[in-house]
Amino acid sequence: MSPFLYIWRRSLWNFIKQLPKKPGRFILVLFYAAFFILALVSVSFIQREAAVPLMEQAHGFEIYSLVWLAIAFLIGTSILFFGATKGSAVFSGPDVHFLFTAPYRPQSILIYGLVGMLKAMAIVAVFLPFQFPNLSRLGFSIGKLFLLILLLIVMMICFNLGSMVLYLIAQNKPHVRSMIRGLLIAIPLAFIAVFLFLFMKNGSFGHTLQLFSESTVVRLFPLFGWTMSIGQGIAAGFDTIGIISLVLLVLTIPVTFYLVYLIPADFYEDAITQVEKVKEQQARMQGKRQTKASKLQLKHKGHSGLNRGHGLSAIFFRNWREMRRKQPYFVGIPTFAILFVTGSIVFGFTQAEGADSFGIFLIFIILLLQLFVKGDSFATTEMKRPLIYTLPYAPHQKLFWLTLTEVVFSIPAVLPSIILYVAVLRPVWYQLASALAVVLTFPVLTAASTMLTYRMMGSIEGQLDGIVQMFTNMILILPTFGLLVTAFVRFMTYDADPSILFILAAVVQTLIGSVVIYLAGKSALEQGLVKS
């Protein structure tokens, strides 16, 4: 048996054998399996009449065709672009250690890596049926849905293999690589330009759609066009071009594999660089390594030293210094993400008549977004580091400073949204005060969830820890959201002012959060670093 097959076979068998011994991993596998089955089963419960089938809508077929072309361009161009630069094979640290040093032609190792990539894609494919319920609303039968998913997978495989061929052609030739990358950007732009030209020429969007989706040149355009033609064939039956496209797309797989095996490869260094990057990212996610300072951060290094802090407050000011270096202007990606969503909603309110006072419920969104976009909390980061456990202070003092850090450092993420909300919707002062109370005390709950997860799991590193934290988050925020929903219903039914319930939510979440932080956090701090 090939050594490569041996690695896959034994790894899979050991993974299965380990499951009963690793309940966390076992639960995770069950969780994914349940999700998968649920997605498949749910298709049969969907009421088809709920939506008009896409193909029966005006220009439905043309829109559907263009959607496939857009998907092919979006996914394909990015795969080809990045793959041509770095290669798309998937290798791990042990592969570098054992396989790259073994007496094999690099091409053989590359084929192993490509099959590894296909394995990774198969795992992704497991999650695609979650979209079945949505797609079946468009009028596709379960059989066609499977074919569409299959097309998507084959398309991604072909693009990945194609990107590897481009990578090999361009290896050690920077000018060829630049040319390929330029071409990859130019192709979708050319398609858009032709579409716009046709639209301006005949003035009818529907007619342009039809011209475009029926064009032989477009339909037979390598990979991108073939994908669209096959998608059309699955939906409305295969014509000659559809069949040709299908044959060409399927042939792409063996042909590219052969080309990869044929072209002399010198990819080890790039693969090692990729492996190192992945390892670094994993180490950062596990809090084992600090994010490397960017040029911008180094430019804004600011004062040296903490300058403030005495005793445990030094932790607060150290976080302050770190945050100022990471986000010189206080704002980060979460700030923009929350601002984007809330900004869109605020804009919606300004367009709707009589919705001004209703804008207060924007707070819901801000709270929810905080949960999803914030990433690692400061409390989580501190709990992963040994320092907090070793400092000679009582647990309640440590927890106080950790919570304060969490609350204060969450402000930059939400403040611009609140300023926008105040500036545009101009809420009454007591409504604003109550909204601020509930938003600004919300991080107490996220800190509590961190402590609870740490106490239960001993870490927040693996996927299971993440799921547990998600569940603890969901449980802990229930009272807050219960009160907010009550405020919403009372407002809708009786036009009652929500401020008092907002204040109540702030008090309740602070109390619940504080108690959980004290009990779980104290225990977690006493327990020490379980996993390091």
Write the single-letter amino acid at 409: F
Q: How many residues bind other proteins (CB under 8 A)?
A: 29
Using the rule CB under 8 A, which residue among 38, 53, 97, 308 binds other proteins? 97
Q: Does 172 bind other proteins (CB under 8 A)?
A: yes
H and E: helices and strands count for the chain: 25, 0
The CA dihedral of 98, 165, 262, 244, to the nearest 10 degrees, is 130
Which residue lies nearer to other proteins by CB, 17 or 303?
Answer: 17
Stretch that binds other proteins, among 92-100, 384-392, 469-477, 521-529 (CB under 8 A): 92-100
Stretch that binds other proteins, among 93-101, 197-205, 340-348, 478-486 (CB under 8 A): 93-101
d(CA 49, CA 135): 13
Q: Does 314 bind other proteins (CB under 8 A)?
A: no
Q: Residue 323: how many CB atoms within 10 A of its CB?
A: 17
Q: Would you give the binding string for other proteins spanning residues 366-405, x where CB under 8 A is met?
A: ----------------------------------------
CB of 112 to other proteins, least distance (A): 11
Contacts 24+ apart (CB under 8 A), 329-337: 330/412, 331/412, 331/416, 332/412, 332/413, 333/373, 334/369, 334/370, 334/373, 334/374, 334/375, 334/413, 335/412, 335/413, 335/414, 335/415, 335/416, 337/369, 337/373
CA 181 to chain centre: 25
CB of 337 to other proteins, least distance (A): 32
Using the rule CB under 8 A, which residue among 67, 102, 293, 475 binds other proteins? 102
CB of 189 to other proteins, least distance (A): 30
- Give, in order, the Cα–Cα distances in Å from 304 to each of 298, 301, 318, 407: 12, 8, 11, 25
Using the rule CB under 8 A, which residue among 23, 53, 94, 528 binds other proteins? 94
Q: Which of the residues 5 through 44 are near other proteins (CB under 8 A)?
A: 6-7, 10-12, 14-15, 18
CB of 219 to other proteins, least distance (A): 41
Q: Does 1 bind other proteins (CB under 8 A)?
A: yes
Using the rule CB under 8 A, which residue among 45, 49, 56, 103 binds other proteins? 103
The CA dihedral of 506, 511, 517, 520, to the nearest 10 degrees, is -130
Q: Does 99 bind other proteins (CB under 8 A)?
A: yes
Which residue lies nearer to other proteins by CB, 174 or 203?
Answer: 174
Q: Does 105 bind other proteins (CB under 8 A)?
A: yes
Q: b/e string for 440-465 if b means 16 or more Cβ within 10 A? A: bbbbbbbbbbbbbbbbebebbbeebb
Using the rule CB under 8 A, which residue among 26, 32, 36, 104 binds other proteins? 104
| Angle CA 218–224–229, to nearest 5 | 60
Q: Does 141 bind other proteins (CB under 8 A)?
A: no
**Strand boundaries in 29-182, DSSP class E:** none
Which residue lies nearer to other proteins by CB, 96 or 391?
Answer: 96
| Angle CA 521–526–527, to nearest 5 | 95
Which residue lies nearer to other proteins by CB, 6 or 127?
Answer: 6
Q: Does 285 bind other proteins (CB under 8 A)?
A: no
Residue owning tokens 């005006």: 58
Q: Would you give the binding string for other proteins spanning residues 256-275, x where CB under 8 A is met?
A: ----------x-xx--x---
Using the rule CB under 8 A, which residue among 32, 81, 82, 100 binds other proteins? 100
Which residue lies nearer to other proteins by CB, 280 or 322?
Answer: 280
Helix or strand or coil: residue 498? coil
d(CA 263, CA 265): 6
Is residue 232 within 8 A of residue 213, CB to CB? The reply is yes
- Identify the DSSP state of 477: T
Q: Does 278 bind other proteins (CB under 8 A)?
A: no
Which residue lies nearer to other proteins by CB, 104 or 317?
Answer: 104
Q: Which of the residues 317 through 336 are near other proteins (CB under 8 A)?
A: none
Which residue lies nearer to other proteins by CB, 18 or 344?
Answer: 18
Closest CA to 90 of 188, 161, 6, 178: 161
Which residue lies nearer to other proteins by CB, 103 or 392?
Answer: 103
Q: Would you give the binding string for other proteins spanning residues 47-86, x where CB under 8 A is met?
A: ----------------------------------------
| DSSP letters spanning 176-242 | HHHHHHHHHHHHHHHHHHHHHHHHHHH--HHHHHHHHHH-HHHHTSTTHHHHHHHHHHHHH---HHH
- Identify the DSSP state of 96: I
Which residue lies nearer to other proteins by CB, 239 or 269?
Answer: 269
CB of 272 to other proteins, least distance (A): 6
Q: Does 532 bind other proteins (CB under 8 A)?
A: no
Is residue 79 within 8 A of residue 88, CB to CB? The reply is yes
CB of 295 to other proteins, least distance (A): 14
Is residue 184 within 8 A of residue 84, CB to CB? The reply is yes
Is residue 417 within 8 A of residue 368, CB to CB? The reply is no
Using the rule CB under 8 A, which residue among 28, 71, 96, 433 binds other proteins? 96
Which residue lies nearer to other proteins by CB, 13 or 340?
Answer: 13
- Identify the DSSP state of 51: S
Q: Is the dihedral of CA 230, 231, 236, 241 positive or negative?
A: negative
Helix or strand or coil: residue 5? helix
Interface residues with other proteins (CB under 8 A)?
A: 1-3, 6-7, 10-12, 14-15, 18, 92-94, 96-105, 172, 266, 268-269, 272
